[in-house]
Amino acid sequence: MSTDSKKIGNNGESSTGELSRRRLLGSVGAAGATGLVLGSTGGAIGYATARPDKPTALTTVGSTEEMFHGKHQPGITTPLQARGHLIAFDLAPGTGRKEAAALMRRWSTVAQRLMAGEPTSGGSADGTTHDTGIALDAGPSSLTVTFGFGRTFFERTGLVAHRPPGLDPLPPFSSDRLDSKRSNGDLWVQIGADDALVAFHALRAIQKEAATTAGVRWQMNGFNRTPGATAAPATARNLMGQIDGTGNPKPTESDFDRRIFVPSQPKTGDEAKYAWLAGGSYAVVRRIRMLLDDWEKLPVAQQERVIGRRKSDGAPLSGGTETTPMDLDKAGPDGKLLIPDNAHARISSPERNSGAAMLRRPFSYHDGIAADGTPDTGLLFICWQADPLKGFVPVQRKLDRGDALSPFVRHEASGLFAVPSGAAKGEYVGQRLLES
């Protein structure tokens, strides 16, 4: 088995044009429109059967490398990683555009080094930063670092004229129980990796580079299935035990870029103010708690009717396999629809939302046991789209009006961020905005 590293671009191809070994493990996983269904990579390629007397290292997990520079930022179409950290910052009082640009320059430099598996020594604001050694001996482990700007960032930096309409506040939803202290933020950073220490190393480096320019507003930790954990490539199960993620838009689809990334055609008039976002995307971030004690009391057959898919293999209740399209009009012998009117899969399907779609790319979380004895468990829902008013908002509004899954979830935090395009070599993320 070869353990040579491959440098992987944001389109998932190596520098020689071959599909990366990581890509062979599966496509991007997915979460449902409320953030409750997720897919994962993970297959038999790249690991050997472990023997009790001779453990076998998952060498390919550490050797894969995602590229920092590219048309789009990493961490959007990258296959789901095993570990993740989400962190939001607020700029310090008195901090403006100049200081924000310097921070993005530092962050971009550090992210590039981290993603290449290199130490982070040097380059800090105060000149004292040194590599902590947390990730010594580990390879890049498919690390990605992704940056976004919140609505208030434009006010703090005097760039309100360049704030795109897509950053208008999300409307309230009936399932919202939002904690303002764990929502929104001037800056947002998504970190993902297939090794926990590599991911934590990146988290510490990003936080340290913020120095006195920005302080942490909130931080959340998540996980997914580790690549190589299944005997064959398979969609993951969420923490409700349901196989989900099949309906996510795929990069191979002809309209994928149009749905996920902000178009890059020339802008005129007022739209020229937002040209800096061309090739970028919008991320909706929601912390969605799953009420597992209530969910697990339901018989499996009732759980399946809530979702609209079989629990055993993810196939729609209308029949077929996991990848069989749902037949939303098919009825059983009793004349009732096989996929109920209020089933989550039916209500969130693009067919019932004028084609509205988003790329759902979440992390599960478990933050221990709450004071009432219930598990503080759920999903760090992240969805990507070219326009949240055409992607997330209409689907969530419809789910809000009658999704059978709603009694078993609670939205506890929320954020919306504009994510610039990828940085070219010699540039930093957000340069087109901050130096406009």
CA-CA distance, 20 to 39, in Å (whole number)? Answer: 19
**From start to end of 306-431, where are the E strands?**
359-360, 363-369, 375-385, 409-419
Tell which residue, 336, 311, 316, has the closest CA to residue 326.
Answer: 316
Q: Which two tokens stand for residue 101?
A: 């640009």
**Which of 244, 257, 387, 403 does the annotation list as catalytic?**
244
Contact 31, 360 (CB under 8 A): yes
CA-CA distance, 338 to 317, in Å (whole number)? Answer: 6
Residue 57 φ/ψ, nearest 5 degrees:
-75, 140
CA-CA distance, 228 to 233, in Å (whole number)? Answer: 8
Q: 299-330: b or e for each residue (b if 16 or more CB lie within 10 Å)?
A: eeeebbbbbbbbbeebbbbbeeebeeebebee
Contact 117, 138 (CB under 8 A): yes
SS3 86: strand
Residue with structure tokens 């897919």? 39
Contact 383, 283 (CB under 8 A): yes
Cβ of 223: how many Cβ atoms within 10 Å? 17
**What is the separation of C-alpha 291 from the centre of its chain, rounded to a whole number of angstroms?**
22
Residue type (1 letter), 369: I
Contact 363, 287 (CB under 8 A): no
Q: Which two tokens stand for residue 369?
A: 């046991």
CA-CA distance, 127 to 105, in Å (whole number)? Answer: 15
- 263's CB contacts (< 8 A; 6+ apart) are 278, 386
Kindly tell me the burial class for residue 297, based on how many C-beta atoms sit within 10 Å of its own C-beta (0-12, 13-18, 19 or more): exposed
244 included as an active-site residue: yes
Give how far Cα 169 sits from Cα of 270, 386, 426, Å.
20, 16, 33
Catalytic residues: 244
